[in-house]
Structure 1
Amino acid sequence: MSTHVAASHPTHFPRQLAILILVLVACGFAGNHVAARLAFENGTGLLLAILCRSGVALLILIAIVLWQGRTIRLPAGSGKWQVLLGLLITIQSLCLYSAVARIPVALALLTANSFPIILALLTWGLGGARPTLKAAALMLFILSGLVLALDVPAVLAMDGDLGGNWWQGIGFALGAATSFSAALWITDYKLSALPGAVRSMFSMVVVFGCMIIAGFAKLVPGGMALPSTAAGWTGLGALVVLYGAAFSVLFISVPRLNMARNASVMNVEPIVTLLFAWVVLGQMISPVQMAGGLVVISGIVILSLRKSA
C-alpha cells in the first residue's frame, strides 16, 4: 500500500489553491519572525527560542517520516554531509534570529533573502555553471534594491549615531544568507537522493542537539532565559505555533503545490513581515526603503522564475 502511494505522482492542487496555501505559509513564517522579535524584546533567550522552534519542527518531521513509511538509514558516505547540513541550518537559525533581534525584522529578512546571489556564486566557485549575463544583471538589480532597502547612504552618513546593533544585525543577516546558501548547495549536490522529510528530520536533530549543548555550556549569555513578561511568553508561544503550523502545512502539501511553478509566491514573506512588524511592533521603514524592498523581491522572483522555466 505505502509503496504504491510513494510511487504514484500526487495530483497538483488547482493553481489558485496552491497559491493561497503558499501565501498562508509565507504569512506563518513572517509572523514567526515578528513574534520572535516580540519575545526577544521581553527577555526570551535566543537559544530557547530556537530550541522550542526546532523541537516542534522535529516532532512534525518524525510524524511525517513515520506516516510516509520512510527508512531513516543514510546512504553510504552521506553521514558527514548530513551533519554538516544540520550545522549550517543551526548557524542560519542563530544568525537570522540574531539579526531579527537587532534590526527591523523586514530588513533582516530582505538581507537574508539575498541568498540566491550567494548560492549562484558558490555553485560557480565549486565548479558549477557560471552565471549568465542576464542572471548577473539580475543579481546587480537585487543588490541595488538591497542598498536602497538598507538605506546605505544614510547609514554611512550617520555611522556614529547608529550604534553597533545595526552593523551586527546586517552582518548576522548576511551570515544567515551565506550559511543557507551552503546548505542548499549540499542539499542539491550531496544529499539530493535522500527524501526531503528524512533529510530535514536529521537536520532538526542536529539543530535541537546543538541548542541543548550550547544552553548547558552557556555559550550565549542569557541564551536560555525565560520570557520576563506576559508579552514575552505570548511571543514565544506564537513563534512556535506559527512556525510549526507553516512548516507542517508546507511539508505535507509540497508534493501537490507544483513548487517549480509556484515557489516564487513565497517571496511575499518580507512584505507580509513589514505589515506585521508595523502592526505588532510599530516598526516603520521609509518609502525609499520600501521601494528598495520591492526591487529586491522583484529581482528574486524573476531569478527564481528563470530557474524554474
Structure 2
Amino acid sequence: MATLTHDTVVTSHRLRTGLLTAALSASAFGLSGPLARGLMDAGWSPASVVIVRVLLGATVLLPVALVQLHGDWNLLRRNAGLLLGYGLLAVASAQLAYFNAVAHMAVGVALLIEYTAPIAVIVWLWLRHSQKPGRATVLGAIIGIAGLILVLNLRDAAHTSWIGIAWAMGAMVGAAAYFILSAHAGDAVPGTVLATGGLLVGGIGILAAGLIGIVPLHATTNAVAFQGFTVDWWVPLLALGVVTAAIAYVTGITATRLLGSRLASFAALGEVLAAILFSWALLGQTPAPIQLLGGALILIGVVVVRLGEPADDLSAP
C-alpha cells in the first residue's frame, strides 16, 4: 500500500522513516529563531547571524559531501541551477527573511506565518504541474488562512509589526522553495551534497550582499542573555551552525525526498511547536490567546489537507 503525495509515492516504511526524520529536522530548525533572537538582542545583525550559521553548517558537512561526491565534479556542473536556486531561495532568502521577521516580532508568530508555506506548495503544484487540489485540500487551506489572520492579531495595532509581517511572508516564499527544491534529486545529487552546496551558495551570497552594502553586517562579542541565564557569544553560534543548519538541512532534505514536497511541508509544521517551546524556555515569549487559537486553526487546516490527500495509489506519479 502506498500513499500518494502527488509528487512522490510513499510506502508505509518510507512514511515512518520520513516522518521520524522530518520530526528531527523540525526540532532542529525550531531552535534557530530563539538562538538568533538572543544574538540579535546582543548586537548582531540578522545577516551576520545567517552568514555564520550557514557557512559553519557547510563546513561541518563538507567532508561528508566530498566523500559522497566521489570526485564527480561534473555532477555539480550539471546541477548548477539546482544548487544555485536552493542556496539563494531555500537558504539565503528564507533564513534572512525569517531572522529579520524575528527581529520585529515574536518567534512563534513569525514562524506560524512562514509555515503557511504548505498552501503555497499546493498552489505551485496546481499551477505548475496541473495537480488540482480536492475539496478537502481547499477547505484545509481556507481554515489555515483563517488561522493566519488570527495569528497576525491585526486588531492589536500596538503589537502588530507590518515590517515583521512582510519579512515573515518573504520567509514563507523561501520555505515553499525549500520544500519544492528539496524534493528534487536533480541528476542524483546526494542530500548532503545539496545541503552543503546550498549552504555555501547562500552564505557567500549574503556575505557578498553585505560587503557591497545591500544588507547591514555587524557583530559583537557581548555575552548573549536568554531567559534566566547568559552564555558566551560563540555558544549559540555553534549550536546554530551544527544543529540548526548542518543537521536540520540534511535531515530535512532526506525527509522531503522520502515523503515528497507536499507531505514533507505539512510534517515540518512540527517546527512551529518546537519554536514556541524553545521561545518560551529561552526568551520567555508566549503568543497571545487569539494567536494560539489561530495557530490551532493553521494546524487543523494542515490535518484537513492531509486527510484530503488520496489514501493510496499504486501508479507512478
Pairwise TM-score range, normalised by the shorter structure: 0.7 to 0.9
Aligned pairs (5 A) from 1:198-277: 198-221=193-216, 223-231=217-225, 233=233, 234-244=235-245, 246-247=247-248, 250=251, 259=259, 263=264, 265-277=267-279
Contact 1:112 1:176 in 2 (8 A): yes
User: By how many angstroms is 1:76 displaced?
Assistant: 7.1
CA RMSD of aligned residues (A): 3.5
Classify 1:59/1:305 alpha carbon distance in 2 versus 1 (closer, same or farther; 3 Å). Answer: farther
- Structure 2 letter corresponding to 1:224: H
**Structure 2, unpaired ranges of 5+:** 1-12, 226-231, 312-317
Taking only the aligned residue pairs, the percentage that are identical comes to 26
Classify 1:97/1:72 alpha carbon distance in 2 versus 1 (closer, same or farther; 3 Å). Answer: farther
Aligned twin of 1:79:
80
User: By how many angstroms is 1:95 displaced?
Assistant: 0.5
What secondary structure is seen at the aligned counterpart in 2 of 1:126? helix
CA distance in 2, matches of 1:24, 1:127: 30
CA distance in 2, matches of 1:38, 1:149: 23
Contact 2:98 2:110 in 1 (8 A): yes
Aligned pairs (5 A) from 1:100-115: 100-115=102-117
User: By how many angstroms is 1:110 displaced?
Assistant: 0.7
Contact 1:45 1:226 in 2 (8 A): no
Aligned twin of 2:134:
132
**Structure 1, unpaired ranges of 5+:** 1-11
CA distance in 2, matches of 1:275, 1:30: 9
User: By how many angstroms is 1:277 displaced?
Assistant: 1.2
Aligned twin of 1:98:
100
Aligned pairs (5 A) from 1:30-179: 30-70=30-70, 71-74=72-75, 78-89=79-90, 90-152=92-154, 154-155=155-156, 158=157, 161-162=158-159, 166-179=161-174
Classify 1:220/1:18 alpha carbon distance in 2 versus 1 (closer, same or farther; 3 Å). Answer: closer
Contact 1:115 1:180 in 2 (8 A): yes
Classify 1:136/1:99 alpha carbon distance in 2 versus 1 (closer, same or farther; 3 Å). Answer: same
Classify 1:196/1:245 alpha carbon distance in 2 versus 1 (closer, same or farther; 3 Å). Answer: closer
CA distance in 2, matches of 1:65, 1:51: 20
Contact 2:79 2:187 in 1 (8 A): no
User: By how many angstroms is 1:78 displaced?
Assistant: 4.0
- Structure 2 letter corresponding to 1:175: G
CA distance in 1, matches of 2:280, 2:271: 14
Q: How many residues align?
A: 289
CA distance in 2, matches of 1:274, 1:140: 23
CA distance in 2, matches of 1:33, 1:136: 30
CA distance in 1, matches of 2:210, 2:159: 31
Contact 1:39 1:227 in 2 (8 A): no
Aligned twin of 2:186:
191
CA distance in 2, matches of 1:124, 1:252: 22
CA distance in 1, matches of 2:136, 2:87: 33
For normalisation by structure 1, the TM-score amounts to 0.78
Classify 1:251/1:185 alpha carbon distance in 2 versus 1 (closer, same or farther; 3 Å). Answer: closer
CA distance in 2, matches of 1:101, 1:115: 20
Aligned twin of 1:26:
26
Contact 1:57 1:244 in 2 (8 A): yes
CA distance in 1, matches of 2:85, 2:25: 27
**Between 139-148 and 232-241, the greater mean CA deviation after superposition:** 232-241
For normalisation by structure 2, the TM-score amounts to 0.76
Deviations 1:155-207 (A, max 9, x none): 3xx3xx347xx111111111111133235445557937433332222212211
Contact 1:215 1:224 in 2 (8 A): no
Aligned twin of 1:8:
none
CA distance in 2, matches of 1:13, 1:126: 26
Classify 1:128/1:46 alpha carbon distance in 2 versus 1 (closer, same or farther; 3 Å). Answer: same
Classify 1:284/1:252 alpha carbon distance in 2 versus 1 (closer, same or farther; 3 Å). Answer: closer
